[in-house]
Structure 1
Amino acid sequence: MLIRAATPADQAAIAEIIMPLIRAGEVYALDRDMTREDALGYWLAPSHHVFVAEVENRVVGSYYCRANQAGGGAHVANGGYSTHAESTGRGVARAMALHSFDHARESGFRAMQYNFVIATNVRAVRLWLSLGFEQVGRLPGAFEHPTLGEVDALVLYRRL
């Protein structure tokens, strides 16, 4: 698996990965009806360092890394990760996570924080905990899941 910086040529592949997840409304606190252009604008924002994961020259995942906060919180990174549905369970997310930790460290970040991990996203929660994140907060009923109703969101944190 090759993980590399995203280029403008990757936009269609990134959209193919993130749009179904946004439309499903189960893992991101984003408007399920947002346009493709708005979704790409969010994912590829100027403040985001965006990467793609490739297997056999096909983009199978993407992540971004950014500062979690400005000013006094700018030493803590934040990120978003998406894997193509056909590649789920094949180690893509773990590889991107490990790559993102290295990238964050090299960029001067000293920790990573995920502010709003949907508790029902069991695979993601299990991955983050296995990679050394601690659950430092729980926001009861903070996310409106399309089929489960109000579910908790977690705050996860780890030092780099």
Structure 2
Amino acid sequence: MDIRPATSEDDDAIWRVLQPVFRAGETYPIPRDIGRAEALAYWHTPGHHVFLVEDMGGVVGTYYLRANQRGGGAHVANCGYIVADEQTHKGVARAMCIHSIEQAKQLSFRAMQFNFVVSTNSRAVKLWQSMGFEIVGKLPHAFHHPTRGHVDAYVMFRTL
């Protein structure tokens, strides 16, 4: 796998990764009917370092890295990761997490926090825990899952 900074030329590929996940509405608190332009603007919000993951010439994932907060909280990183639907269970999310931790350290972040990990996304929760993240908070019924109703979301944290 090759992980590199994304460019505007990658927007079509990024949208192909984002669209099915956003449409499913199971893991991101994003409107399910979000349009391409709005989704890409969200992913490329100023301050986001956006990366693209390629494997054998195809795009298999994307993630962004940013400061979780401004000012006194700017030393803590935050990320959002999405793996292409057909690439799950192939180590893409783990590779992105490892890469993001390395990038965060290079950018002088001291910790990383995930603000809203949907509890029913058990594969992600288990993976992040295996990468040293701890659940430090639970947001009861904070996410409306399209088939399971209101479910919890977690705040996960690790030092770098």
| TM interval, short-chain normalised | over 0.9
SS at match of 1:120: coil
SS at match of 2:95: helix
Question: What is the distance in 1 between the residues matched to 2:49 and 2:23?
Answer: 23
Question: What is the distance in 1 between the residues matched to 2:85 and 2:43?
Answer: 18
Between the aligned residues of both structures, percent identity stands at 57
Question: What is the distance in 1 between the residues matched to 2:99 and 2:152?
Answer: 28
AA partner of residue 107 (structure 2): S
AA partner of residue 158 (structure 2): R
Gaps of 5+ in 2: none
Runs of 4+ in 1 over 3 A off after TM superposition: none
Question: What is the distance in 2 between the residues matched to 1:114 and 1:78?
Answer: 6
Give the aligned partner of residue 56 of structure 1.
Answer: 56
AA partner of residue 98 (structure 1): I
Question: Is it true that 1:72 corresponds to 2:87 in the alignment?
Answer: no
TM (norm. structure 1) is 0.99
Question: Is it true that 1:4 corresponds to 2:13 in the alignment?
Answer: no
Gaps of 5+ in 1: none
After superposition, what is the alpha-carbon deviation per residue over 1:105-152, rounded to whole angstroms, capped at 9, x for unaligned?
A: 000100000010000001100110000001000011000001100000
AA partner of residue 113 (structure 1): Q
Alignment of 1:98-137 (within 5 A): 98-137=98-137
SS at match of 2:101: helix
TM (norm. structure 2) is 0.99
After superposition, what is the alpha-carbon deviation per residue over 1:3-34, rounded to whole angstroms, capped at 9, x for unaligned?
A: 00001111111100011111111000111111
Give the aligned partner of residue 90 of structure 1.
Answer: 90
Question: What is the distance in 1 between the residues matched to 2:24 and 2:55?
Answer: 25
Give the aligned partner of residue 20 of structure 1.
Answer: 20
Give the aligned partner of residue 44 of structure 1.
Answer: 44
SS at match of 1:28: coil
SS at match of 1:31: coil
Give the aligned partner of residue 153 of structure 1.
Answer: 153
Q: How many residues align?
A: 160
